[in-house]
Chain A
Amino acid sequence: AQSVTQLGSHVSVSEGALVLLRCNYSSSVPPYLFWYVQYPNQGLQLLLKYTSAATLVKGINGFEAEFKKSETSFHLTKPSAHMSDAAEYFCAVSGINTDKLIFGTGTRLQVFP
């Protein structure tokens, strides 16, 4: 069975500060891992994905995530937060041979000036 845990339902940072959103996964098969972003009143947009190639994955808008098998983690980071990064972020996992996508409960990021 697969599952995703996002630590912290709310994260607040100052503009220019490091953004760190945590995601831990559980999977009995090699996973595909994803981060999605949801801006207010919009659908989900893919930020980045890990599909068993490079463990450090770069995405859009300056975000990146590192797959750490030993820690079963896929944390999302951005060196310097921008006001426009305020949104809800979802981590998700699927198996290589399955189509089902399992989502975490989401982390709402607030960015203060």
Chain B
Amino acid sequence: EAQVTQNPRYLITVTGKKLTVTCSQNMNHEYMSWYRQDPGLGLRQIYYSMNVEVTDKGDVPEGYKVSRKEKRNFPLILESPSPNQTSLYFCASRNGYNEQFFGPGTRLTVL
């Protein structure tokens, strides 16, 4: 089944404790991205990647890092999480018809 998977689905952590949210897609898509969803703000792009080893900032990149060492994986890294990064995070990959496929989401709470 074609899909985007994210792990973990839920995470509660404390300020400053480094964490990684994994994202993997099995559709051989070149383009992948990370979004955060906050009430009243819709989805905002954090980072995106056009291909392996090619990444760039989206609209809200501060406090986040990404890497793209393999085509299928695009992890999101929070080196020192803060409470304002409490949010719902979505990974997505895009096909050649500009359709984005979203993962199920990761709900992160930073205390």
Contacts and interface: CB of A to CB of B under 8 A. Distances in A.
Interface of A: 9, 32, 34, 36, 41-46, 49, 51, 90, 94, 99-101, 103-106
Interface string B82-103: 0000000010101001111111
Contacts of A45: 102
Contact of B40 (A43, A49, A90, A105): A105
Given A32-B98, A43-B90, A106 B104 contact: no
Interface residues of B, number: 25
B48 interface: yes
B40 to A, nearest CB: 6
B45 A94 contact: no
Contacts of B48: 99-100
The residue among A9, A43, A104 with the most chain B CB atoms within 10 A of its own CB is A43
A49 B99 contact: yes
Interface in B23-56: 31, 33, 35, 40-45, 48, 50
